[in-house]
Each structure stands twice: as structure tokens, then as C-alpha cells.
Amino acid sequence: MSRALFAPSMNVAELRESATIAVSARAKALAAEGRRIVDLGAGEPDFPTPKFICDAAHAAIDAGRTRYTQVEGILPLRQAIAARANARPRRSGTEVTPSNVVVTTGSKQALFDACFTLFGAGDEVLVPTPAWTSYYEMIGLARAVPVVVRGARDRELKVTADDLRRAATSRTRGLLLNSPCNPTGAVYDLAELTEILELASSEGWWVISDEIYRRIVYDGEAPSLLDVPSAGERVVIVDGVAKAYSMTGWRIGWAIAPPTVARAMTALQSHTTSNASTPAQYAAVAALTSAEAEPAIRAMVSEFRRRRDAALRILHSADADVIEPRGAFYLFIRVGDGSQSPEAGTICAQRMLEEHGIAIVPGAAFRAPEWVRISYAAPEEHVLTGVSALTSVLESASR
């Protein structure tokens, strides 16, 4: 009897593997073959989870807190998330309560749940680009259409309300915003967010705001959409403990949404993953409520700043076109202008890996094929080795 070949369903037929994960997998495969590989593609802090957070997880396990919880998360964690949101110095008019909060298995699930809940077949969702690779795929999984919106280089590739207005059509239903941005490190200021929110409100669009990097910022603060007085009711804030608290593997994220949306997201989650890991939820409570958290975050951000500044000195001395990151922990560098190859970033990333043993992410992953992304969430010597190698590749390509 012949064996039928696998044919993917229409749900995933056009789904593409995460490019950032693919780069990491290739780097690990080469390392397993015995090659010395410096991985500068990872999107996670290289610091250990603080001990007080680990201790809280151990205590939860010792207390037998290992069973299912409410789908939307334990009440103490939702209370801590709401209190954190309400403590902002500038607040939109609506108080956040635990009924607004859905705890998820990482912020990635919160983003997916929000897209799947708010958008459907034929809806268009504006995506300021370059952007994290999974945004486009999540919108597509909801049968909606991601619409690329590009910002000017002199604005750090950030979009304006006018850029969004020009890209919109009668089918536009929402916007997926990210600040601080992955991959550029750009940060939208309060005036920019206010203009964008006023446009979205006037058009009746939903805005999903990915704020996972908001605590990793180098100049002042990165405002939240919760800081915009006119934010309105059609806003979903997504955040988590992964980046700021160095808890990527703990998989705790959340969404703050209007109660009707939160209930719908909870219902969706009840049929997919159910609750997030119980001990990890208790660890997240400690992360959000302990006095030990702020010094740990400040120390990590200070080290990221030091690495950033050292890398920028090398790039600036080579006259590289790099967006100076004001948040997150990425360097976004232009390696082509489209005149020689439309895939300059991919070619550069391949050379870096195969010739120099350094893994970086090609800009094509973020719909910006003339760029590459280097993570400085790695030991400083690795970062500087990678940046120096990149300048050598760029110099050889220009000869």
C-alpha cells in the first residue's frame, strides 16, 4: 500500500519558520560539529534569572503549588500586573483591574491570542516595519493580512500617523505596534504615540502594543500606551517577564485588555494551552513585587549600555549605517542599498556565519533585506568580535 505524502493544511501552508530561531538552530548545529560559533542572533538576556525569583519558584513547588490554575492566571499575579500598570506616572483614564489581565505562556502567546481574537479573514493589520518576524505570521494565522508600513531612515525607521494613514484602506482593522522596537532599538516618544493613538481612535482601529522591552531603555523612559491620556478602549497591551527579569525560559507573559476582549482571549486559551506554568506564575509574582527587582534591572541595563556604546564606537569609526538603539539590545546595521543585491543582509549573514563563525540575523527576517541585526545580549568580547568582523565584511564588499 502506498504511503500518502504529507500535505499541510491551509492553516499552515504559507507559514514560515521563525528566522531568528532558524539562525540559532544553524549556529547550534555548526557548534555540534566542532566549530567555534559566536551566537549574536539570540533575543534573550545572557544574565541568569535573579536568585530571589528562583527561590520563589522553589517555595511554590515545596508548597505543592503545581496544579492547574485559572486559565487567565492566578489572582496574585493578575493583581501584581494591574498594580504595576496603575503605578505609571501618567495614566489613561481607565484603571486596570485583574479582570483586564490574561496571563499567558510567554508574551508570544499573548500576541497570538490577541491577533486571533481581534482579527479575521480579510482584515488588514498595519505593521510598522522592520518588525519582529512573528508579527506577520501571527496575523496570517488569524487569516488576516499584514500590511507593511515603512518609516523614514531619519526617523530611526519609526512610522508616523501620516505613514499609517496613507497605508490604510477600508479593510484596515488594526495596528501592531512595538516600542522599544525589535530589531532597531528605536523608542516612540509620548507625542508620537499620542498621534498614532488619536488616528487609531478616530478610525476605530484596534491597537496591539508589544511592550516587552519597555524596561530596557537607555535615555529616560519608554512610554507605554497606558501613558497616553487618549488611549481609549480599543487597546491591548502585551508584556511579560522574559526580557527585563531575564526569565525567557519561564514563559510568563500577559495581555491587558478590555474585559470583553480578556474574556474572549481566556476562552481561546482554555482550548489551546490552558494556564501558564504554575510555579513560574508564582516566580513572576516575586519578580513584579520584590524590592530586589529594580536593582537587578538597573545593573543589567547598565551592562547592556556599556556593550552598546563599545560596539557603536567600532561601527561609527567604520562609518557604518547603524541605528543607535535607545532601548532593547540590538544593533540594526545597513549592509546594502539594493543596487547590488536585494538580499544583501542574507548574503552578509551567511558570510559572517560560514567564514567567521558568527551568527547574526539577516534583515529579511524583519522585512528589511538590506540590513542585519546583531544582538549584544552576549559577553562583550563576543559582541566586539562580531562587530569587528562585520566591519571587515563590509569593507571587503565595498572594494
Instruction: For residue range 213-228, list pLDDT tens digits in order.
Output: 999 999 999 999 999 9
Higher pLDDT, 315 or 31: 315
Q: What's the longest Cα–Cα distance across the chain?
A: 69
Residue 52 DSSP code: H
Give the Å distances, CA to CA, from 196 to 153, 219, 228.
19, 22, 10
Q: Which three cell numbers stand for residue 371?
A: 540590513
Instruction: For residue range 272-303, list pLDDT tens digits in order.
Output: 999 999 999 999 999 999 999 999 999 999 99
Residue 134 has pLDDT above 50, yes or no: yes
For a pLDDT cut of 90, what percent of the chain falls above it?
82
In this structure, the dihedral spanned by the alpha carbons of residues 53, 56, 61 and 67, taken in order and rounded to 10 degrees, is -90
Instruction: For residue range 109-130, list pLDDT tens digits in order.
Output: 999 999 999 999 999 999 999 9
Is residue 189 within 8 A of residue 222, CB to CB? The reply is: no
At the topology level of CATH, where does 66-289 sit? Aspartate Aminotransferase; domain 2 (3.40.640)
For residues 333 and 228, give the distance between their C-alpha atoms in angstroms, rounded to a whole number: 31
Is residue 72 within 8 A of residue 262, CB to CB? The reply is: yes
Higher pLDDT, 10 or 71: 71
What pLDDT does residue 250 have?
A: 98
Quick one: CA dihedral 124, 125, 131, 136, positive or negative? Answer: negative
Question: What is the residue type of 115?
Answer: C
Is residue 390 within 8 A of residue 157, CB to CB? The reply is: no
> Phi and psi dihedrals of 299, rounded to 5?
-65, -40
pTM of the model: 0.94
Which H helix or E strand runs over 62? Answer: helix 51-62
Residue 29 has pLDDT above 90, yes or no: no
Q: Return the SS3 of 25.
A: helix
What pLDDT does residue 1 have?
A: 44
Instruction: For residue range 61-95, list pLDDT tens digits in order.
Output: 999 999 999 999 999 999 999 999 998 765 556 78
Q: Return the SS3 of 253.
A: strand
Instruction: Give domain limits for the chain.
Output: 19-48+294-398, 66-289
Instruction: For residue range 196-254, list pLDDT tens digits in order.
Output: 999 999 999 999 999 999 999 999 999 999 999 877 789 999 999 999 999 999 999 99
Write down the CATH number for the domain with range 19-48+294-398.
3.90.1150.10
What pLDDT does residue 342 have?
A: 72
- Mean pLDDT, residues 97-109: 98
On average, the pLDDT of the chain sits at: 93
What pLDDT does residue 339 have?
A: 59
What pLDDT does residue 231 have?
A: 74
Is residue 373 within 8 A of residue 366, CB to CB? The reply is: yes
For residues 283 and 290, give the distance between their C-alpha atoms in angstroms, rounded to a whole number: 10
Is residue 240 within 8 A of residue 212, CB to CB? The reply is: yes
Which of 152-156, 255-259, 308-312, 393-397 has the weakest average pLDDT?
A: 393-397
Measured in whole angstroms, the distance separating CA 130 from the mean position of its chain's CA atoms is 12
Instruction: For residue range 11-22, list pLDDT tens digits in order.
Output: 888 877 776 677
